[in-house]
Amino acid sequence: MRPETAPANAPTVEDAIAVLKANDLGTYTVPTHGLYPFQWNWDSCLTALGQAHFDEARAWTEIETLFTHQWEDGMVPHIVFHKHDDGYFPGPDVWQTNRPVPTSGITQPPVAGFAVRRLFERASDKALAEQRARALLPKIAAWHDWFFRARDPEGTGLVAILHPWESGRDNSIDWDAALDRVPIDGVIPFRRRDTEHANPDHRPTQAQYERYIGLVQHFRGLGWDSARLHDASPFKVVDPGFNAILLRSCADLAALAEALGETKLATDARARAEAGIAALEMLWSEPSGQYLCLDRVTRELVESLSVGGLLAAFAPIPPHRAARLATRIEEVAATAQYLVPSHDPTDPRYDGRRYWRGPAWLIVNYMVADGLRAAGQPAIAERIEADSLALIAAGFAEYYDPITGEPCGGGKFTWTAAIAVEILTMSEKRS
Ligand code: GLC
């Protein structure tokens, strides 16, 4: 068992804030210098939660900058390439999205609705919060509309991701079988840059990278037209974690719209959340005790026990499902020192240091704990938060080996620091 008490040198809120400030480029924050030199979508929204504890206006700006680069069709891109930087692959020349400020052509987990409601409700400057939230509201609604239009053309209530990077869990075991079907003939030769900044043993493999780029080239060939991408994509997966984030954001947007007197928007967003929560049942696996991904090409559930199926707890799912997920996480806790591994450690495919194939990530921990606490499961939520704080004793790493606690990937990581500020401050307030 890991030690119950935090070590004497445990990082403080001030240490975490120093990381946020060091990575702040004024109107957006880079995830970490070197490895990720631009603005990432869900990183920014989660980062704002940490920033709000010391500078509310700056937190609003983080999200606003992202939405300044929203596409005309409503999509909010996963990367905004604010400035030229050769240290990252694939850059704007590969995406070719033809925007005034270059962006990628895919999206990321839509955590903005959740983040904006939280900033609004906690704001000490109410006038500022109302003004900034009111301006963001229709933009977030347009993003959600885009999801249901472009990524759920059959009206199932759940959306598909068309690229593993959209999930935010880039190289999860969840995608292996679907990714294997992506053709790689005609993929341009390329030089990866990520393995120059981080240990190659912690990063996705070359074979996976070829397929990631193959998908980008395929979509680029379709002119990034969202009306065509879904049906034409060889990769189409319905991820419970991704959908839970979207549905939680719909529910939070409804609450925010209600508070701002935008009744029509509130009614529409609430209806979406309710229909989606009902549809999530399609992804429930009774033998696994958790949700699973659905491959929309084969129409089969993917036998892969990842944290995506536990992250479903972030949405307002039925209490009996949340209770089962809490039990499932306790089962996982018997095989890992630190919750929550991104993949079940008993699976032979598990790899405790390779990115999303095993390591624990603080942002995911935060969302799982938040959902479980709201669903009346405070004990497991507290255990997850305590483990998160134990992990940062080794520094604000990108992610951690859930058995040894070893810090992996990039260092001085923005969203890890933001979540540390959030957990440290909120647990103090609760006690
Ligand atoms: C990696 C992660 C993704 C994150 C990005 C920037 O690609 O998988 O979730 O947004 O890094 O931190």
Mutate to test the pocket of ligand 1, among 28, 38, 40, 239 (most ligand atoms within 8 A of CB): 40
175 Cβ inside 6 Å of ligand 1: no
**Mean pLDDT within 132-159:** 98
For residues 22-26, give the mean pLDDT. Answer: 98
Note the pLDDT of residue 172: 98
Predicted confidence (pLDDT) at residue 10 exceeds the cutoff of 90: no
* Residue 6 pLDDT: 53
pLDDT value, residue 254:
98
Find out whether 246 and 275 touch, Cβ atoms under 8 Å.
no
The single residue of 62, 351, 398, 401 carrying the catalytic annotation is 398
Per-residue pLDDT reduced to its tens digit, 210-267: 999 999 999 999 999 999 999 999 999 999 999 999 999 999 999 999 999 999 999 9
Tell me the CA–centroid distance for residue 132 and ligand 1, in Å: 26
- DSSP per-residue codes, 249-271: HHHHHHHHHHHTT-HHHHHHHHH
Q: Which segment of 9-18, 19-28, 366-375 scores lowest on mean pLDDT?
A: 9-18
Residue 75, classed as helix, strand or coil, is coil
| Ligand 1 atom nearest residue 170's Cα | 8
Which ligand 1 atom sits closest to the C-alpha of 41?
Answer: 10
For residue range 297-309, list pLDDT tens digits in order.
999 999 999 999 9
**Ligand 1 pocket test, candidate residues 170, 242, 363, 408, most atoms within 8 A of CB:** 170
Provide, rounded to the nearest whole percent, the portion of the chain with pLDDT above 70.
98
Is 90:38 a contact under the CB 8 Å cutoff?
Answer: no
Q: How far apart are CA 105 and CA 41, in angstroms?
A: 12
Q: Is 399 in the pocket of ligand 1 (CB under 6 A)?
A: no
Model confidence band, residue 5 (pLDDT cutoffs 50, 70, 90): low
In the annotation, is 196 catalytic?
no
- 316 band by pLDDT with thresholds 50, 70 and 90: very high
Q: Report residue 9's pLDDT band, with 50, 70 and 90 as the boundaries.
A: confident
Nearest CA to ligand 1 atom 12: 31
| Sheet containing strand 300-301, strands side by side | 237-238, 294-295, 300-301
User: In the chain, pLDDT over 90 holds for what percent of residues?
Assistant: 95
Q: Say if residues 123 and 56 touch (Cβ distance below 8 Å).
A: yes
Q: Look at the pTM and tell me if it is higher than 0.95.
A: yes
Q: How many angstroms separate the Cα of 381 from the Cα of each of 346, 366, 388? A: 22, 9, 11
Q: Tens of pLDDT along 403-423?
A: 999 999 999 999 999 999 999
Among 29, 36, 88, which is best to mutate for testing ligand 1, by the most ligand atoms less than 8 A from CB?
36
Count of CA atoms in the C-beta half-sphere (13 A) of 204 = 22
Say how many Å lie between the CA of residue 364 and the centre of ligand 1: 12
For residues 24 and 30, what is the distance between their CA atoms, to the nearest angstrom?
Answer: 7
Atom number, ligand 1, closest to the C-alpha of residue 414: 12
User: Catalytic annotation on 239?
Assistant: no
Q: Provide the token pair at 218.
A: 């395929």
Domains observed in the chain: 13-430 (1.50.10.10)
Residue 32's pLDDT band (cuts 50, 70, 90): very high
* 8-state DSSP, 36: B
Does ligand 1 lie within 6 Å of residue 413's CB atom?
Answer: no
- Predicted confidence (pLDDT) per residue in 336-353, tens digit: 999 999 999 999 999 999
User: 148-200, pLDDT tens digit by residue?
Assistant: 999 999 999 999 999 999 999 999 999 999 999 999 999 999 999 999 988 99
What are the residues facing 294 on neighbouring strands? Answer: 238, 301
pLDDT over 50 at 1, yes or no: no
Please give the pLDDT value at position 3: 46
DSSP character string of 170-221: TT-GGGHHHHHTS--TTPPP---SHHHHS-GGGS--HHHHHHHHHHHHHHHH
**Which atom of ligand 1 sits closest to the CA of residue 398?**
12
CA atoms of 319 and 375, how far apart (whole Å): 6
